[in-house]
Structures are given as structure tokens and as C-alpha cells.
Amino acid sequence: MTSRIPDPDIRIRLATLADVAALARHRVKMFRDMGELPRHLEAELTDASESFLRRTIAAGEYVAWVAVTGEDPERVIAGAGLWLRSALPRPMPTGIDQGREALVANVYTEPDWRRRGIAALLMRQVLDYTREHRILRVRLHASDEGRRLYESLGFAPSNEMKLVLPI
């Protein structure tokens, strides 16, 4: 996949608690775009996401990056995050890994800003962070639209399955 160079005016920065509302809004839009969120649940997902993000960012369990422009540095146009969690010990090619694993979450770009390489730029930040912090296992759930980007970065399909139990 050819990587597009984003607009030179685009800036990537670490997200802060001040970005929680934008990150939660992007999460809602992401699920809506994938057809997985009925309208009547949007407010509830927004509230739950804001609560989760506030708590986990403050605790250092969730790290995110946002893209903004120099023209409007307060408007978040894209973002990507990592949910860091303890992992059970497991064999790796280099020995037994007893560290953390990361789940890439909330990769989202506002529609007007798509197809400009911003998601790739954000994902490179995400992967740089995992390398710097020696997080050896990184997972994500790919939408059909994002799959090509993730494959170009080295992600491969896994044996993961899911079961959603009825309430």
C-alpha cells in the first residue's frame, strides 16, 4: 500500500483528558459508520466511553494520539488509541513474555479528512509507542475499510473468535 503524505499542517499529539469528549464522539461515529450502533444508543455509548476514557487515561491504561491542524488546533480531526493491559505469560519466539499487551482502539478519521494518510501517521505513533515500551503483542479489530492499512503495517488475521451472549 502506498502511504500518502498528510498535509504538512497536520499535527499529531498525545491526547489528554481535555480530548476525552472528542475521543468518545469519534468512538460513536466509528460504530455508527460500521452499522453497529442504533441511534437510540448513541448518547449512552458517548457517556460510557467518556467515563471509561477519563478513568483509563488518568490511570495510564489508555494512551491515545490525536490529529489536529495548525489552522484549528482545538478541533480533533482523527485519533487512535491503545488500551494497555496485563497479559498472561505466553510463549513468544524470543522466550516467555510476561509483560503487557495492547489493543488498538478508536482509530477514526473525520470523513472530510480521510484518504490523506492521517490514520497511517497515527498508527505509526501507536506502533512506535509499543516498541519503545516493549509491548510485544498488539491486537486490533479491523473494520473492512481499515483492514488494508493494518495489513500494510504488518498486522495479520488471527485465530480470535467472539461470542456475544444474550442479556
How far apart CA 87 and CA 102 sit, in angstroms, is 9
CATH code of the domain containing 65: 3.40.630.30
Q: Please give the mean pLDDT across all residues of the chain.
A: 92
Q: Does residue 21 form part of some domain?
A: yes
Per-residue confidence (pLDDT) for residue 6, from 0 to 100: 58
What are the pLDDT digits (tens) for 108-155?
999 999 999 999 999 999 999 999 998 988 999 998 889 999 999 999
The residue segments making up the domain with residue 85 are 10-151
Q: Does residue 122 form part of some domain?
A: yes
DSSP state string for 84-97:
EEE---EEETTEEE
Q: Does residue 86 form part of some domain?
A: yes
Judged against a pLDDT cut of 70, whether residue 3 lies above it is answered with: no
What is the band of 1 on the pLDDT scale with cuts at 50, 70, 90?
very low
Helix, strand, or coil (residue 147): helix
Q: Are 148 and 133 in contact (CB under 8 A)?
A: no
Q: How many domains does the chain have?
A: 1
